Structure formats: structure tokens, C-alpha cells
């Protein structure tokens, strides 16, 4: 298989001596391997420990398995082959797996186009661009709402009356026009449309209040916006609901007005024991608890699914504990059913990241994320790499030269 890793690190964190003895030994072993490939790497306390080791363990796993690998310098699109004890072939016509930290200008769809534009380079086979787009719209799927274990409403922010009348008396609207003109909204909609679930966001908040909720969880269906909780008073008017939402979004209101489906309004619930699954070809293949301090260095390399979870993701309970076999089996079974239902709803939705948790003792879906730039926690990267390769081979079997493939390296 042919892998391209987007260059993400020329520095690495120091050995963390607060970890377990086994973890420290693994850090030292893998750090030595990393330095053999990148001897110019500088030790830097400022480098995020988890981010670096999630990247490095995937990269080193690819090399250990004998796959052909190149490092891509993202600003220049310069490719450098990585030597690992065998002749390094040129990139052939087989599909490419692209990994690493996708960033602005080099997101999957843009990377796909850039790779295809490079002479003699094949298409990017992973991440699957179509699935990236679909996963970003997970909140609109009936499957997610069915398995969320709480109410989820997708709501919008209609433009103010001044905008609908074609005037610009509202300073927020002036700034909205400025932002739209110079930052090129790609998904702007008819401002008269309210939202996909039939309510503006502030009206959804009022509806939740009127049916008993005294707090709501707000999430913006765009990257880089805050999530959080809005506490609601005993009595709430529509204007008050609008004011609470505007205060929460702050300047984000200017960017989001006129979109029909940018806000998720959810019941505020206590989520415990969160867990992350990688779904490939409509099947969960590996997973780990969303433990903030864990990396693949903490993985049990004899298991596809780690058993360690963290009580909650906030400061209420960060204690770690192991799922029982029965509890882990419940999580895996839930992920299998969710993936099956998602495929039944949309046959193209096969590759993504699924986060689950327990709400009042029952397993529920937290969210879905695209299959790139996701945290691995204590995930088994060997299993992850193998399953990605199997999916690419299965999907692009007609593009592989069997003789050339076996000459280049082992079949994953």
C-alpha cells in the first residue's frame, strides 16, 4: 500500500516520565525509531504529547508493516520517500492513503484535487472524500436522532427584519454582509428559510424550556465554534431566548445569521464513559475510551478495543476505570447497530468516527466525525492501519497490479 503522511512535526515532546514503566519504555523505543528517520527533530516542551504520539504511532506502524511511505511538505507539495530497508519505488498507479494533520487549504477534498493534479499520481483513496462530507452532516440523519438518547434539533439563525427588507440599519447585519462578501460563505441559504427542523434556534430553545428543560446544550454545525450549556430561567419569553443565544454565540452571530441549519439544540444530559469507534466499510473495527491523557502508547496491542474509559469529559469525574466484558460488548453491539442503520439510511455513509457514551445507564450516540484529524486515544494503530488497507484494497481492487504489489512489499 502507498501512504503519504502530511508533514506535521519537526519537533517532538520529551519523554514523559510520569507515565507507566511500560509506556516510558515504549516512548523511548519509538522515539529512537522516529529519530532514525528524522534526525533533525528537536525536543521541545511546547509540543503536544498526545498529538505527536498519535501521529508518530500511525507513521511507525505503517513502516513496520512494510508499506511504501512518503512525507508530504504541505506548503510546497514536495514528496520525500521514507527509507525502511528496501528499495523505495516511485508512486505507481495504485490508490494513495493520505494521513496526518489536514489543515486549512489541505482538507481532504482540497488534498484530493491537489494530488490528482500532480503528474501521474492516482486518486486519494483515504480519507474517502464523499464520506467526509456526509459525516459532517451527521446531525441531520434520522439514524443519529434515533440513537442519540436525547432530543436533538437542528436550527438556524434567520436574518433580522432589516436584512429581509433589503436595508442595513442593523450594525450586526452590516458586519454580516462584510463577512459574507470577503469570506465567501459556501452554503448560504435563502434567509427567509428558518431551519431544517422547522424552528429558528431561539424558538427551539423556548420549546425545550416549555417542555421542562432548564438548560440546553448548544453546538454549532461548523468547525471552530464553541459548544456549551445555556441555563434557562423559570420563565422564558421568545425575546429572552434570543438574547441568551446571542450572548452565548457572541460575535459568532454575525457569521451564522442567514444559515438554515447551523445550530444544534440538545437536551442537557450527563454523559459518562465516552468511547470512540472507527467505522470502516460500515463496520466498527477498533475503538478506545475517550481518555484525555491517553495515546496509542497506552493501547493493549493484543486487543482491537481498549477497555479503559474516563468517568466524564469535564471536571466532575476524570477517574479511569475498565469496562467489564459485558459493558464493552454492549458498546460494540451498539456501534454495529448504529453503523447498520446508517448504511440502511445512506448506503454511501460507511467510513467515519462514532463516539458513544452512557446516558442514564443506556448506551447512546454522542456525535459522528469525519475519518481524519480524529483523536486516537489508546487505539490499536496496527489494527487501524490494517483495516484501512483492507478497505482500500477492496474498494480499488481493479487498480492494483498484483505482481507489482507483491514486489513492493507484504500484502496487508
Residue 331: predicted pLDDT: 98
Check whether 235 has a pLDDT greater than 70: yes
DSSP string for residues in 351-391: SEEEEEEEETTEEEEEEEE-SSS---TT--HHHHHHHHHHH
pLDDT (tens digit per residue) in 68-105: 888 888 667 778 888 766 666 677 667 889 888 776 56
**Collapsing DSSP states into helix, strand and coil, what is residue 128?**
coil
pLDDT band at 376 (very low <50, low <70, confident <90, very high): very high
174-211 pLDDT, tens digit each: 444 444 433 333 333 333 333 445 678 999 999 999 99
Q: What is the pLDDT of residue 187?
A: 37
Q: Which three cell numbers stand for residue 399?
A: 487498480
Instruction: For Cα atoms 329, 309, 331, give the angle at the middle one, nearest 5 degrees.
Output: 20
Phi, psi of 167 (to 5 degrees): -100, 175
- State the first-to-last Cα distance of the chain, in angstroms, to the nearest integer: 8
Q: Which residue has the higher pLDDT, 193 or 377?
A: 377
Q: Which helix (H) or strand (E) holds 336?
A: helix 325-345
Mean pLDDT of the chain: 82
Instruction: With CA atoms as reference, report the closest residue to 102 among 324, 364, 371, 372.
Output: 372
- The answer on pLDDT for 373 being more than 70 is yes
| Model pLDDT, residue 394 | 85
pLDDT of residue 4: 87
* 3-state DSSP assignment of residue 11: strand
- Considering only residues 66 and 149, tell me which one the structure prediction assigns the higher pLDDT: 149
Whether the pLDDT of residue 377 is over 80: the answer is yes
Q: In this predicted model, what pLDDT tens digit does every residue of 275-310 receive, in sequence order?
A: 999 999 999 999 999 998 999 999 998 999 999 999
Cα 185 versus chain centre, distance: 22
Percent of the chain with pLDDT over 70: 79
C-alpha cell of residue 24: 516510558
Rounded Cα distance between 396 and 405, Å, is 13
Which three three-digit cell numbers place residue 138?
451527521
Question: Shortest CA distance to 145 belongs to which of 289, 312, 267?
Answer: 267
- Position with higher pLDDT, 66 vs 331: 331
Q: Which domains does the chain have, with CATH numbers?
A: 2-127+392-408 (no CATH), 134-147+270-386 (3.30.470), 152-267 (no CATH)
What b/e readout covers 36-75, taking b as 16+ CB neighbours within 10 angstroms?
Answer: ebbeeeeeeeebebbebbbbbbbbbbbbebbbbbbbbebe
Length of the chain counted residue by residue: 412
pLDDT band for position 404 (cuts 50, 70, 90): very low
What pTM was estimated for this model as a whole?
A: 0.85
Residue 409 backbone phi and psi in degrees, to 5: 175, 180
DSSP-derived letter for residue 330 is H
Q: Which three cell numbers stand for residue 255?
A: 457569521
Residue 14 vs residue 227, higher pLDDT: 14
Q: Residues 378-394: what's their mean pLDDT?
A: 93
Pairing mode, strands 271-280 and 352-359: antiparallel
CA angle 135, 280, 353 (to 5 degrees): 40
Is the predicted pLDDT of residue 135 greater than 90, yes or no? no
Check: CB of residue 323 under 8 Å from CB of residue 343: no
- Reported as a single tens digit per residue, the pLDDT across 307-342 is 999 988 776 667 899 999 999 999 999 999 999 999
Q: Rounded to an integer, what is the distance from CA 187 to the centroid of its chain?
A: 21
Nearest-angstrom CA–CA distance, 300 and 306: 6
For residue 127, whether the previous peptide bond is cis, meaning omega lies within 30 degrees of 0, is yes
pLDDT the model gives residue 194: 39
Amino acid at each position: 500500500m502507498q501512504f503519504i503522511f502530511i508533514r506535521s512535526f519537526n519537533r517532538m515532546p520529551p519523554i514523559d516520565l510520569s507515565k507507566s514503566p511500560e509506556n516510558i519504555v515504549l516512548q523511548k523505543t519509538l522515539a529512537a525509531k522516529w529519530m532514525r528517520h528524522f534526525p533533525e527533530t528537536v525536543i521541545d516542551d511546547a509540543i503536544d504529547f498526545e498529538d505527536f504520539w498519535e501521529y508518530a504511532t500511525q507513521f511507525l506502524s505503517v513502516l513496520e508493516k512494510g508499506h511504501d511511505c512518503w512525507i508530504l511538505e504541505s506548503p510546497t507539495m514536495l514528496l520525500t520517500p521514507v527509507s525502511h530497508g528496501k528499495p523505495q519505488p516511485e508512486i505507481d498507479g495504485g490508490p494513495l492513503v493520505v494521513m496526518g494533520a489536514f489543515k486549512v487549504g489541505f482538507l481532504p477534498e482540497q488534498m484530493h484535487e491537489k494530488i490528482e493534479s500532480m503528474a501521474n499520481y492516482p486518486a486519494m483513496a483515504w480519507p474517502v472524500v464523499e464520506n467526509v462530507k456526509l459525516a459532517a452532516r451527521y446531525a441531520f440523519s434520522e439514524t443519529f436522532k434515533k440513537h442519540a438518547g436525547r432530543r436533538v434539533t437542528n436550527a438556524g439563525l434567520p436574518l433580522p427584519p432589516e436584512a429581509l427588507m433589503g436595508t442595513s440599519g442593523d450594525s450586526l447585519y452590516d458586519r454580516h454582509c462584510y463577512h459574507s462578501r470577503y469570506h465567501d460563505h459556501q452554503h448560504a441559504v435563502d434567509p427567509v428559510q428558518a431551519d431544517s427542523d422547522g424552528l429558528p434556534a431561539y424558538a427551539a430553545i423556548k420549546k425545550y424550556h416549555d417542555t421542562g428543560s432548564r438548560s440546553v446544550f448548544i453546538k454549532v454545525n461548523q468547525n471552530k465554534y464553541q459548544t456549551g450549556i445555556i441555563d434557562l430561567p423559570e420563565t422564558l419569553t421568545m425575546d429572552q431566548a434570543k438574547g441568551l443565544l446571542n450572548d452565548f454565540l457572541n460575535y459568532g452571530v454575525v457569521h451564522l445569521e442567514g444559515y438554515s441549519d447551523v445550530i444544534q439544540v440538545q437536551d442537557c444530559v450527563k454523559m459518562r464513559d465516552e468511547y470512540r469507534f472507527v467505522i470502516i466499510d460500515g463496520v466498527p473495527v477498533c475503538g478506545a475510551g475517550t481518555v484525555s491523557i491517553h495515546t496509542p502508547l497506552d493501547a493493549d496491542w493484543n486487543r482491537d478495543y481498549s477497555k479503559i474509559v474516563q468517568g466524564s469529559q469535564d471536571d466532575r469525574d476524570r477517574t479511569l476505570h475498565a469496562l467489564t466484558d459485558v459493558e464493552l460488548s454492549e458498546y460494540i453491539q451498539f456501534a454495529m447497530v448504529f453503523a447498520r442503520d446508517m448504511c440502511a439510511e445512506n448506503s454511501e455513509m460507511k467510513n467515519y468516527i462514532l463516539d458513544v457514551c452512557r446516558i442514564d445507564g443506556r448506551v447512546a450516540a454522542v456525535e459522528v466525525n469525519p475519518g481524519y484529524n480524529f483523536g486516537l486515544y489508546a487505539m490499536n494503530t496496527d489494527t487501524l492501519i490494517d483495516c484501512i488497507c483492507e478497505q482500500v484494497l477492496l474498494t480499488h481492487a481493479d487498480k492494483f497490479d498484483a505482481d507489482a504489489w507483491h514486489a513492493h512489499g507484504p500484502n496487508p
